[in-house]
Structure 1
Amino acid sequence: MQYLRVQRASSRSDIFPKLVGMQKSMRANHFAVFRIAGAGLPNKRKLVCELDNWGSSASENINVMIEAFGEMLIHHIDVSLLPMSWSGPEGGRAAETAADEPSPLIRHIDDLHRMPYGGIAFPVRLGAVGNGYVAFSGAGLDLSSDTVIDQHVRSCQIMMDLLALDERRAVPSESLSEREIACLQLAGDGQISEEIAEKLGLSVHTVNAYLGSATIKLDSVNRIQAIAKAIRLGYIQ
């Protein structure tokens, strides 16, 4: 039986076109991806820009954004996963519904007009590491409820791709074998070693050996962690 790997970005250059596509669908001018660095260190967490297309003004605008409400964004992700939007100096707030009423899916930041345009930041929380925001700015963003939900899902995929790339660099060069992937996939589907052995025509001892070697290769402490990491890295679904 063949198991297909989930298609994940193989480099950051694969992520950029996805962000451009999201930008166009929202009618945004720019995007930026922020990660929260310093996790686990009290008062040391900060936003770090990983990717952006703000051109020559990138550093200035990103620094303005971080200074304006970086601490607010860091605190917000601890307590809520609602996207946060803001207005530009002349309003610039996107039409959130047909009646231009505030959407219950968005928390609006009031009285923060240091950014040249309005914008929205989608929070993504992936655990101890990988947390951050995918942000878009523009004078007329499409923030309808359907768009917000769709772009939030896409933002999660972007952050998962970045986390997977980070973890892939830390994984030993020896890749998983087809048998190891097959055993992990079935274990991830909730099957125990005896069931996996019967399905693959192997002994229980051999199945456990494959799961054990895969766990070591993925630098995991147990089978559950190995399955979670294999999913993030795109080995299994």
Structure 2
Amino acid sequence: MSDAAEVSEVVQSLFGERQTPFGVSLGRDTHRTVTIPDAVRRCRWIAVDINASGFTLLFSGPSAERPFLAPCFDSRYPGVSAETRLISGEDRFGLVRHARASSVPCVWDDLPGSVSSSSLNALTWTTRIEPPAAGTCGIVFPVHAERGQCGFVIFLGSEITLAPNAMFDIHARCFSLFDAVARMRPGESAKFPSISKRELECLKLTANGYTSEEIARLLKLSVHTANQYLTNTAQKLNAVNRMHAVAKALRMGLIE
């Protein structure tokens, strides 16, 4: 069995006991968070400890056809950083699928020769992924909570310093942080509508100024079908019309 598979097996066995994968109980008082700003401060402390310049916490939506990521907060809180928009704005099926099957952290390196590059490449129990944001280095900690909630705590920067023997403690802190946030927002994942890939394509083209007739021609659909996709999307997003749906989808990171 590989190191990654062994870690994943340990994760699954311990997680059922309401612990982090590293044996730290999620019920401890030290893991209670009262507000989102409290959670942001805790995440910032972790970032300081590993010398990361940015961070983000995201929930994974449950859509089977197109899993997507919805930002909860990042290092620009109450704003949203450009890196978070890039990470959450694309189809991250591979990353979400990984998180649902394993808690092994993922790393990427698009800054050869940087401090982060050397540090992250020295970590053994990790999975390499393509850079979700060009010109960056980062580490992704998959995290889970009750009710099947799944997400990620991500740290970015060019000078990340994370020793292999400290990675498990950092991951444990990320688990407890996500658990606290998920308790504050128990319905976060359920809020994410299950929107099909075709519906999102129609919505994205609408956002780019295309009419129903143009969308139908580009996607080789009938005008009636294109309009139906847009109507469905507006209903799923609880929007009053398609432009309102576009605005909501942009805020949720469903489209760019």
TM range (shorter): 0.5 to 0.7
TM-score of the aligned structures, taking structure 2 as reference length:
0.54
Q: Is the 8 A contact 1:94 1:143 kept in 2?
A: no
Structure number with bigger Rg = 1
Q: How many Å apart are 1:147 and its aligned residue?
A: 2.2
The answer to whether the 8 Å contact 1:94/1:142 transfers is no
> 3-state DSSP class of the match of 1:28?
coil
Residue 105 of structure 1: which of 122, 125, 132 is its match?
A: 125
The percentage of counterpart residues that share the same residue type is 17
Cα pair 2:105 2:142 within 8 Å, conserved = yes
Residue 68 of structure 1, CA deviation: 5.8
Give CA-to-partner distance per residue, 1:84-121, whole Å, 9 cap, x none. Answer: 11112555443338xxx5422111225x3743320111
- CA-to-aligned-CA distance 1:152-175 (integer Å, 9 cap, x gap): 000001111011112499xxxxxx
1:126 offset after TM fit, Å? 2.5
- Name the CA shift for 1:160/1:5 in 2 (closer, same or farther; >3 Å): closer
Q: For the residues of structure 1 that align with 2:167 and 2:124, how far apart are their CA atoms?
A: 11
Q: Tell me how far 1:53 sits from its aligned partner.
A: 1.2
Q: Which residue of 1 aligns with 2:103?
A: 81
Aligned to 1:46: 68
CA shift in 2, pair 1:67/1:88, >3 Å: farther
User: Which residue of the partner structure matches residue 242 of structure 2?
Assistant: none
Aligned twin of 1:65: 87
Verify: 1:159 aligned to 2:196, yes or no: no
Aligned to 1:36: 60
- Whether the aligned pair in 1 keeps the contact of 2:136 and 2:157 (CA below 8 Å) is yes
| Count of residues in correspondence between the two structures | 160
Structure 1 position 95 matched with structure 2 position 114: no
Partners of 1:147 and 1:70 lie apart in 2 by 27
Post-superposition shift, 1:143? 2.4
User: CA–CA distance in 2 between the matches of 1:42 and 1:69?
Assistant: 12
List gaps (5 residues or longer) in structure 1: 170-237
Q: Is the 8 A contact 1:130 1:160 kept in 2?
A: no
Query: CA 1:94 to 1:55, structure 2 compared with 1: closer, same or farther past 3 Å?
Result: farther
Conserved 8 A contact 2:111-2:117? no
Question: Which range moved further: 147-156 or 48-57?
Answer: 48-57
Please tell me whether the aligned partners of residues 35 and 130 of structure 1 are also in contact (alpha carbons under 8 angstroms).
yes
Query: How many angstroms does 1:54 deviate by?
Result: 3.7
Secondary structure at the residue paired with 1:96?
helix
Q: What stretches of structure 2 of length at least 5 have no aligned partner?
A: 1-26, 189-256
Report what 2:253 is aligned to.
none
1:149 paired residue number: 168
Cα distance in 2 between the residues matched to 1:56 and 1:5: 28
| Aligned counterpart, 1:131 | 150
Maintained 8 Å contact 2:57/2:154: yes
Letter in 1 for 2:159: G
Cα RMSD (Å): 3.0
Q: Distance in 1 between matches of 2:88 and 2:28?
A: 37
Residues 4-13 or 143-152, more deviating: 4-13
Equivalents in 1 of 2:97, 2:138: separation in Å?
18
Cα pair distance change 1:148/1:10, threshold 3 Å: same
CA distance in 2, matches of 1:44, 1:120: 23
